[in-house]
Amino acid sequence: MQELIENFTKHISESITISKSSNLSAFSGKVENVLICGLGGSGIGATIIAQIVAQDANCPVTINKDYKIPAFVNQNTLVLCCSYSGNTEESLEMLEQAQAKNAIITCVTSGGKLEEIAKAKNYNHIIIPGGHPPRAAFGLAFPTLFTILKHYSVIESDYTDQFNNSISTIDAEEENIITEAKSITEKLMNKIPVIYADANYEGVAVRFRQQINENSKMLCWHHVIPEMNHNELVGWTKKNEDLAVVIFRNEDDYFRTQKRMEVNKTVFEKYTSTIIEIHSKGNSQLERALYLVHLGDWVSLLIANKKGIDVTEVDVITHLKGELAKI
């Protein structure tokens, strides 16, 4: 896992090359809406891209992480099916329903049944390198989503320049990122992380939560501002030093949200002494998001190492899949 995290920017660069060389069939129609189907490590990229392209996309981009697809899906809907293994049962069921609705289907996978179906049905698809835990393939899968949305004219740019800027920033800051990750790790040991971020960066908070869950084998939760100011903030009423607040900060966080964060800290301070602020680097939302994703991945790995646990082990998920296979 450490090697995979170290190769994060190499994965992004490799994915851009793969995306640009993919032979996607021409499309002359008009996409009225987009549904991206994917779960876990295969779906987090969809969560993040939907927020990044919100001001660029010319139609709604919706994420689906379930067995059933929404009723709005029709022949003018671009359904993007993402499954790293190609065998995620929920994604395959969503694909089957999208086929029944004659949707415009495109797939991102490393193989499995999804690749077989894509090739048999002649669907546009991008194949990425396999053999990794899905959560560690984020850098390989994420850029392909931009390529596909650009191909179908949902967005005007594939964001290559921003990806390249991100690669340069992360590579230049890698030593500092690891140093900060070590400091954060020390503060999170034996704590329950409570993760907060501006609503526009919720995908980054979700990614960190998922990595803490899978890599560090810990429970935690996340919420976003301003929404949590209308509910969860009231729940801070009892001293609990087992909790550690992690706040993701970005220079483009809405100014009123930034003020909310400052006021929120005065509340948190009454109930826990562990409050960690993580500031992103980069000149765009995409760059800042990737910076935080990478730093968070390092933290999840370092916690696992410090706890002496197998970071790649997901036996409980394997058990669950085995039980479901009996149905």
Among 230, 238, 323, 326, the active-site one is 230
Length of the chain: 327
Q: Annotated catalytic residue: which of 115, 214, 281, 294?
A: 214
- Of these residues, 68, 270, 307, 321, which one is catalytic? 321
Q: Tell me, rounded to whole angstroms, the distance of Cα 188 from its chain centroid.
A: 21
Quote the number of domains for the chain: 2
Based on the residue annotation, tell me whether 214 is a catalytic residue of this protein. Answer: yes
pLDDT in tens, 60-77: 999 999 999 999 999 999
121: domain CATH number is 3.40.50.10490
pLDDT digits (tens, 9 = 90+) for 255-296: 999 999 999 999 999 999 999 999 999 999 999 999 999 999
**Residue 319, domain member (yes or no):** no
Instruction: Answer yes or no: do 138 and 173 share one domain.
Output: no
10 falls within a domain: yes
pLDDT digits (tens, 9 = 90+) for 297-312: 999 999 999 999 999 8
- Give the tokens for residue 103: 């949707």
What domain range includes position 53?
A: 2-158
Same domain, residue pair 254 and 146: no
At 292, the amino acid letter reads L
Q: For residue 169, is it within any domain? A: yes
131 DSSP 8-state letter: S
Residue whose C-alpha is closest to residue 58's, from 37, 81, 80, 34: 34
Dihedral sign from CA coordinates of 134, 135, 140, 145:
positive
Position 327 in a domain: no
Residues 12, 151, single domain; the answer is yes
As a whole number of angstroms, the distance between CA 84 and CA 5 comes to 17
Query: Three-class SS of residue 91?
Result: helix
Same domain, residue pair 24 and 153 = yes
Judged against a pLDDT cut of 90, whether residue 237 lies above it is answered with: yes
Query: Does residue 320 belong to any structural domain of this protein?
Result: no
Whether residues 46 and 146 fall in one domain: yes
Query: Same domain for 118 and 90?
Result: yes
Q: Are residues 192 and 283 in the same domain?
A: yes
- Domain stops at, among 158, 189, 212: 158
pLDDT tier for residue 327 given thresholds of 50, 70 and 90: confident
Domain boundary among 124, 158, 192: 158
In the chain, the percentage of residues whose pLDDT exceeds 90 is 95
Asked if residue 224 is part of any domain, the answer here is: yes
Q: Are residues 51 and 121 in the same domain?
A: yes
303 and 272 within one domain: yes
Does one domain contain both 138 and 174? no
Residue 193: asked if its preceding bond is cis (omega within 30°), the reply is: no
pLDDT above 90: residue 51: yes
Contacts of the segment 301-306: beta carbons below 8 A, 24+ positions apart: 301/1, 301/2, 301/5, 301/215, 302/181, 302/182, 302/185, 303/185, 303/188, 303/189, 303/212, 303/215, 303/216, 303/218, 304/1, 304/215, 304/216, 304/217, 306/185, 306/189
- Tens-place pLDDT, residues 199-218: 999 999 999 999 999 999 99
Q: Does residue 230 carry a catalytic annotation? A: yes
DSSP string, 146-200: HHHHHHTTSSS---HHHHHHHHHHHHHHHHHHHHHHHHHHHHHTTSEEEEEEEGG
Distance CA 186, CA 260 (A): 27
pLDDT greater than 90 at residue 321: no
Please name the residues in contact with 296: beta carbons below 8 A apart, sequence gap of 6 or more: 204, 207, 208, 211
Q: pLDDT-derived band of residue 251, with 50, 70 and 90 as boundaries?
A: very high
Q: Please state, in angstroms and rounded to a whole number, the distance separating the CA atoms of residues 55 and 155.
A: 10
Rama region for 197: left / alpha / beta (φ>0; ψ in -120 to 50; rest): beta
Same domain for 149 and 186, yes or no, is no
Under the banding of pLDDT at 50, 70 and 90, the label for residue 220 is: very high
Domain boundary among 128, 158, 188: 158
Same domain, 15 and 115: yes
Q: Is position 128 within any domain?
A: yes
